[in-house]
Structure 1
Amino acid sequence: MDLNTQNELVKKAIAVLESLESGNPEAIMNYVHPDKYIQHNQALPNGRAAMLSALDHLKDLGLKVSIKRALVDGDYVALHSVYDFHGPKIGFDIFRFENGRIVEHWDNLQEMVKKTPSNHTMIDGPVTIKDIDKTDANKTYVKRFVEDIMIGKNRGLLTTYFDGDHYIQHDPHIADGLSGLSAAVRAMEEQHIEMQYTHIHQVIGQGDFVLTISEGLINGEPNAFYDLFRVENGKIAEHWDVIEAILPPEKRKNSNSRF
Structure 2
Amino acid sequence: MTVNNQNELVHKAIAVLKSLESGNPEAITAYINPDKYIQHNQSLLDGREAMLSALDHLKEIGTKVSIKRTLVDGEYVAIHSVYDFFGPKIAFDIFRFENGQIVEHWDNLQEMVERTPSNHTMIDGPVMIKDIDKTDANKVYVKSFVENILVEKNPGLLTSYFDGDSYIQHSPHIADGISGLGAALQALEERNIKFQYTHIHKVIGQGNFVLTVSEGLFDGQQTAFYDLFRVENGKIAEHWDVIEAILPEEKRKNLNSRF
TM-score, length of structure 2 as denominator length:
0.99
Listed one character per residue, the Cα deviations across residues 152-181 of structure 1 (whole Å, up to 9, x for unaligned) are 000000000000000000000000001111
Q: What are the residue-to-residue correspondences of 1:10-25 with 2, within 5 Å?
A: 10-25=10-25
Structure 2 residue aligned with 1:147: 147
Letter in 1 for 2:167: Y
Listed one character per residue, the Cα deviations across residues 128-150 of structure 1 (whole Å, up to 9, x for unaligned) are 00100000000000000000000
Report the 3-state secondary structure (helix = DSSP H, G, I; strand = E; otherwise coil) of the residue aligned with 1:135. helix
Q: What are the residue-to-residue correspondences of 1:96-245 with 2, within 5 Å?
A: 96-245=96-245
How far apart are residue 220 of structure 1 and its match? 2.4
How far apart are residue 188 of structure 1 and its match? 1.0
Distance 1:53 1:86 in 2: 19
Q: What are the residue-to-residue correspondences of 1:36-55 with 2, within 5 Å?
A: 36-55=36-55
Distance 2:202 2:8 in 1: 22
Alignment RMSD (CA, Å): 0.5
Report the 3-state secondary structure (helix = DSSP H, G, I; strand = E; otherwise coil) of the residue aligned with 2:55. helix
Question: Structure 2: where are the runs of 5+ without partners?
Answer: none
Distance 2:199 2:72 in 1: 23
Report the 3-state secondary structure (helix = DSSP H, G, I; strand = E; otherwise coil) of the residue aligned with 1:72. strand
Structure 2 residue aligned with 1:57: 57
Letter in 1 for 2:5: T
Distance 2:53 2:64 in 1: 18
Structure 2 residue aligned with 1:68: 68
How far apart are residue 182 of structure 1 and its match? 1.1
Distance 1:69 1:189 in 2: 33
Distance 2:22 2:219 in 1: 39
Report the 3-state secondary structure (helix = DSSP H, G, I; strand = E; otherwise coil) of the residue aligned with 1:182. helix
Letter in 1 for 2:162: F
How far apart are residue 256 of structure 1 and its match? 0.3
Listed one character per residue, the Cα deviations across residues 19-71 of structure 1 (whole Å, up to 9, x for unaligned) are 00000000000000000100000000000000000001111111100000000
Letter in 2 for 1:143: K
Distance 2:220 2:105 in 1: 26
How far apart are residue 185 of structure 1 and its match? 1.2
Distance 2:87 2:103 in 1: 29
Structure 1 residue aligned with 2:87: 87
Structure 1 residue aligned with 2:35: 35
Letter in 2 for 1:204: I
Listed one character per residue, the Cα deviations across residues 60-114 of structure 1 (whole Å, up to 9, x for unaligned) are 1111000000000000000000011111100000000000000000000000000
Distance 1:213 1:143 in 2: 10
Report the 3-state secondary structure (helix = DSSP H, G, I; strand = E; otherwise coil) of the residue aligned with 1:152. coil
Distance 2:27 2:101 in 1: 11
Distance 1:9 1:212 in 2: 20
Letter in 1 for 2:181: L
Identity of aligned residues (%): 79
Letter in 2 for 1:138: N
How far apart are residue 221 of structure 1 and its match? 1.2
How far apart are residue 191 of structure 1 and its match? 1.6
**Comparing 184-193 with 42-51, which one deviates more in the overlay?**
184-193
Letter in 2 for 1:8: E
Question: Structure 1: where are the runs of 5+ without partners?
Answer: none
Report the 3-state secondary structure (helix = DSSP H, G, I; strand = E; otherwise coil) of the residue aligned with 2:104. strand
Distance 1:112 1:146 in 2: 24
